[in-house]
């Protein structure tokens, strides 16, 4: 039995850092373990222009505690008014590493997202030309589509047509939750990849709904049936380089989670790597962990891998059940299983 495991320092390819006091409270938990993260732009108001991204990057760096090293990889929030030239300039300056597509109304703070996909054709063309990845929140918002089907329908109605229209466009399907998405990535070419969250490898929809409603397990896309969770575990541990970690750690205060209409999001930054080590060990695939957390992501984003190594040791870690912030407590994702690996 392995007692320790040394891997390249991980990166997080989908992260919500928020702003202000919440940013200050959650950032150290990511910076403690991850070298870089793709920073989601769904602030209020959203991070739309290169100038917005530069200002947000400065606020993140100002919130980073002395002595910690962390590189935020910025993204732009795609709107129907996004200017292709602004996107190209933001990439050329090295600031922006992806553009995020939120169908309008799909999730937290997505009201400024895209309704008419024809209106973003010019931006997508430019992105295909310059090799800038599009990160997709892959759910349709059509109220007549069942929430558990929204990812599969998005692939058919939105994503596949976009990819056929822009074959050179590089796409990351974010936080996939279904075997349909896993199959679509497997069948795709080198321009298509997907991130998988920690929590979707651990919970299925029963965790949210059986025996009482558990708001801390509610996130978007919502966790699906067990067979989908198993497909995600198989994909993450398969060694296929087009699947990699995007935690989608999405902190909300307990006050905002525990409402009659509570916010979507699981906060996993502090315990993600301990949970992943457990999941990969359960799957007999500890040797694939480094690829998933530290190699496949930079490879797709055409960035160097981290040279620094981190050691996981077989020591049961201890995590608080919540962290305190100036805005109130934020509960950690509870994997409901003993953890044996510490960083």
Give all strands (DSSP E) within 102-141, no chain letters: 134-136
Residue whose structure tokens are 């295909």: 128
Task: Select from Zn ion, ligand NCD, none the partner in contact with residue 137, using the beta carbon and a kind-dependent cut-off of 5 to 8 Å.
Answer: ligand NCD
Half-sphere exposure of 214 (CA within 13 A, CB side): 20
Residues that bind ligand NCD (CB under 6 A): 16, 42, 107-108, 137, 219-220, 248, 250, 264-265
Name the residue nearer to ligand NCD (CB basis): 128 or 220.
Answer: 220
CB of 46 to ligand NCD, least distance (A): 11
CB of 335 to ligand NCD, least distance (A): 17
Which residue of the chain is nearest Zn ion when measured via CB? 248
DSSP letter, residue 133: P
Name the residue nearer to ligand NCD (CB basis): 88 or 330.
Answer: 330
> Where is 281: in which H helix or E strand?
helix 272-282
Task: Select from Zn ion, ligand NCD, none the partner in contact with residue 42, using the beta carbon and a kind-dependent cut-off of 5 to 8 Å.
Answer: ligand NCD
Q: Does residue 139 bind Zn ion (CB under 5 A)?
A: no
**What distance in Å separates the CA atoms of residue 223 and residue 179, rounded to the nearest whole number?**
12
Window 217-256: residues binding Zn ion (CB under 5 A): 248
DSSP letter, residue 305: P
Name the residue nearer to ligand NCD (CB basis): 163 or 252.
Answer: 252
Options 180, 248, 254, 334, the catalytic residue: 248
CB of 7 to ligand NCD, least distance (A): 25
**What distance in Å separates the CA atoms of residue 215 and residue 223, rounded to the nearest whole number?**
12
Instruction: Judge contact between 166 and 186, C-beta under 8 A.
Output: no
Whether 248 is catalytic: yes
**What distance in Å separates the CA atoms of residue 122 and residue 142, rounded to the nearest whole number?**
24
Name the residue nearer to ligand NCD (CB basis): 237 or 268.
Answer: 268
> Where is 54: in which H helix or E strand?
helix 50-63
CB of 108 to ligand NCD, least distance (A): 4
Enter the tokens of residue 330. 């934020």
Q: State the catalytic residues.
A: 248
């Amino acid at each position: 039995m392995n007692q320790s495991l040394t891997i390249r320092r991980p990166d997080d390819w989908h992260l919500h850092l928020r702003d202000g006091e919440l940013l200050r409270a959650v950032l150290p938990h990511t910076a403690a373990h991850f070298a870089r993260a793709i920073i989601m732009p769904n602030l209020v108001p959203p991070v739309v222009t290169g100038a917005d991204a530069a200002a947000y990057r400065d606020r993140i760096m100002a919130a980073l505690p002395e002595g910690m090293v962390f590189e935020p990889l910025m993204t732009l929030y795609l709107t129907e008014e996004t200017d292709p030239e602004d996107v190209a300039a933001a990439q050329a300056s090295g600031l922006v590493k992806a553009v995020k597509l939120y169908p309008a109304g799909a999730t937290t703070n997505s009201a400024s997202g895209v309704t008419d996909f024809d209106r973003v054709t010019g931006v997508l063309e430019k992105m295909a030309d310059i090799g800038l990845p599009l990160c997709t929140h892959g759910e349709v918002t059509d109220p007549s589509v069942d929430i558990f089907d929204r990812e599969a329908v998005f692939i058919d109605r939105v994503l596949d047509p976009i990819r056929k229209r822009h074959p050179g466009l590089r796409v990351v399907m974010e936080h996939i939750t279904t075997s349909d998405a896993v199959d679509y990535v497997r069948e795709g070419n080198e321009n298509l990849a997907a991130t998988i969250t920690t929590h979707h490898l651990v919970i299925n929809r029963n965790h949210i709904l059986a025996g009482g409603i558990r708001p801390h397990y509610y996130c978007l896309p919502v966790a699906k049936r067990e067979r989908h969770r198993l497909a995600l575990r198989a994909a993450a541990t398969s060694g296929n380089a087009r699947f990699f970690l995007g935690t989608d750690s999405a902190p909300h205060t307990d006050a905002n989670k525990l409402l009659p209409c509570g916010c979507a999001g699981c906060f996993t930054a502090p315990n993600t790597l301990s949970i992943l080590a457990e999941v990969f060990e359960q799957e007999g695939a500890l040797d694939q962990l480094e690829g998933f957390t530290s190699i496949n992501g930079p490879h797709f984003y055409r960035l160097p891998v981290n040279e620094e190594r981190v050691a996981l040791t077989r020591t049961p870690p201890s995590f608080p059940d919540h962290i305190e912030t100036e805005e109130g407590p934020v509960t950690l994702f509870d994997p409901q299983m003993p953890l044996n690996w510490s960083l």
